[in-house]
């Protein structure tokens, strides 16, 4: 059954295309990320947040970030990480706007901090513990958020939190070599990101959590640098001039970062009791553990959850909560994807939510040619309907169907999810049907 749609005005110059059973509640916010509004599904009575990313493919870099976030959020299952409930299927493959349906949260931690709401130590403890649960899940799943800040921590009135905005998130962390310099909004950015761009670790997330804790305590950002160099000065004004041991993570001289630091005025560390009133010893311990200048000495998320401050709410089950990730990390290596490829990948993600409405996939017949002396063979890939040759790919001995599908996907600038491979006899070859695929290759021998 096809979905019936309606156009709903959200503001003066923004309209949403949503199902007819979606009742508009109010606009929640807008910015460079798009526009978010709350709706009530009158069929299920569920209230949701719908994000519209307008002209999502005008900037390929932003489009790639959007796709990365979609793939990550669709594969992550944890109570403290926002999830995608639905993605509206576009009217055609050539579309401009992306609609993402997510759980509705009432506010974010930035707004809570800026409000006059009284926050007790119990509030601080519960907020930070949940953030660390989310971060621990990400890190053991080999994912780094890279942009943790209060605005990216969503909150409900019962103080449950979910972290969001994974546009800068990276998966397959252990396999990454070339890391982006642009990570983390400046005031929550770890010193190593400024001093040693492209050589940081997952510890950047822990520093950000420490900054969020300090912001909860002081009701304002603790390191409000005017620019990236001033950011370091502000950090050291609070934390004190780093020792030789603190800077062990930097390369030995000559090193531009060391030269810059040598010119800074020496300063003594400020005590947490000076910065915050009624700060307990256990909170001080947590701040010191997370805000270590040397990332190699910074506590990891698992150990942070077991700090004495969280003793009353910690449970062993929190160290293994959530479902394992199943996302692929292909986006980490794709430097310059085309608009068509990104549109098709997002379209394929939408299809995952609406399999009953998925159009006919592109069917490609595989026709292996005789084996070469080195054991490889050419595989002609032909359009099933027209018989036109689409590509000629080289198959390695023992290669799996998924590997060949990936090659063909890149060659045709078409997502693998929308390709249906069949043998010359018309039998379907699925991603897991390696035995049948090997039989197809054997035919050529």
147 is catalytic: yes
Which string of b and e fits 134-154 if b means at least 16 CB within 10 Å? bbbbbbbbbbbbbbbbbbbbb
State the CB neighbour count (10 A cutoff) for residue 117: 10
What is the H or E stretch that residue 377 is in?
strand 377-383
- Burial tier of 243 (Cβ tally within 10 Å: 0-12, 13-18, 19+): exposed
Q: Specify the length of the chain in residues.
A: 445
Q: What is the DSSP letter of 36?
A: E
- Burial tier of 366 (Cβ tally within 10 Å: 0-12, 13-18, 19+): buried
Nearest in space to 17 (alpha carbons), one of 105, 95, 106? 95
CA–CA dist 214, 230 (Å, integer): 19
CA dihedral 6, 7, 8, 11 (to 10 degrees): 170
Helix (H, G, I), strand (E, B) or coil at 312: coil
Helix (H, G, I), strand (E, B) or coil at 80: coil
Q: Among residues 147, 246, 318, 433, which one is catalytic?
A: 147
- Write out the catalytic residue numbers: 147
């Amino acid at each position: 059954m096809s979905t019936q749609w309606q156009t709903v005005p959200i503001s003066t110059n923004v309209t949403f295309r949503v199902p007819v059973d979606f009742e508009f509640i109010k606009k929640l916010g807008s910015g460079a990320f798009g526009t978010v509004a709350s709706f009530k599904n009158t069929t299920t009575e569920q209230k949701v947040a719908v994000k519209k990313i307008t002209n999502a493919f005008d900037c390929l870099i932003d489009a790639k970030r959007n796709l990365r976030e979609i793939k990550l959020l669709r594969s992550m299952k944890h109570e403290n990480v926002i999830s995608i409930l639905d993605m509206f299927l576009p009217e055609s493959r050539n579309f401009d706007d992306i609609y993402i349906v997510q759980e509705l949260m009432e506010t974010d931690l930035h707004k809570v901090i800026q409000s006059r709401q009284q926050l007790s130590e119990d509030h601080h403890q519960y907020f930070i513990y949940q953030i660390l649960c989310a971060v621990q899940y990400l890190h053991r799943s080999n994912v780094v958020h890279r942009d943790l800040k209060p605005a990216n921590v969503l909150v409900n009135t019962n103080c449950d939190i979910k972290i969001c905005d994974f546009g800068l998130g990276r998966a397959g962390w252990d396999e990454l070599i070339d890391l982006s310099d642009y990570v983390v909004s400046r005031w929550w950015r770890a010193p190593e990101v400024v001093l040693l761009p492209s050589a940081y670790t997952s510890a950047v997330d822990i520093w950000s959590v420490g900054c969020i804790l300090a912001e909860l305590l002081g009701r304002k950002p603790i390191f409000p640098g005017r620019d990236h160099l001033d950011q370091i000065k502000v950090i050291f004004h609070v934390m004190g001039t780093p020792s030789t041991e603190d800077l062990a993570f930097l390369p030995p001289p000559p090193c531009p970062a060391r030269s810059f630091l040598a010119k800074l005025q020496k300063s003594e560390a400020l005590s947490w009791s000076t910065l915050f009133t009624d700060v307990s010893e256990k909170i001080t311990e947590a701040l010191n553990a997370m805000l270590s200048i040397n990332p190699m000495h910074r506590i990891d998320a698992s150990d942070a959850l077991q700090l004495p401050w969280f003793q009353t709410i910690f449970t062993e089950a929190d160290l293994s909560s959530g479902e394992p990730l199943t996302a692929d990390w292909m986006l980490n290596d794709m430097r310059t994807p085309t608009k068509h490829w990104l549109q098709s990948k997002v379209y394929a993600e939408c299809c995952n939510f609406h399999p009953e409405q998925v159009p006919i996939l592109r069917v490609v017949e595989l026709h292996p040619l005789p084996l070469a002396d080195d054991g490889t063979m050419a595989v002609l890939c032909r359009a099933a309907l027209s018989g036109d040759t689409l590509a000629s790919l080289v198959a390695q001995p023992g290669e799996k169907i998924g590997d060949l599908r990936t090659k063909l996907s890149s060659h045709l600038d078409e997502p693998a999810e929308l390709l249906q491979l069949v043998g010359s006899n018309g039998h379907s070859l699925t991603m897991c049907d390696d035995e049948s695929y090997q039989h197809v290759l054997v035919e050529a021998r």
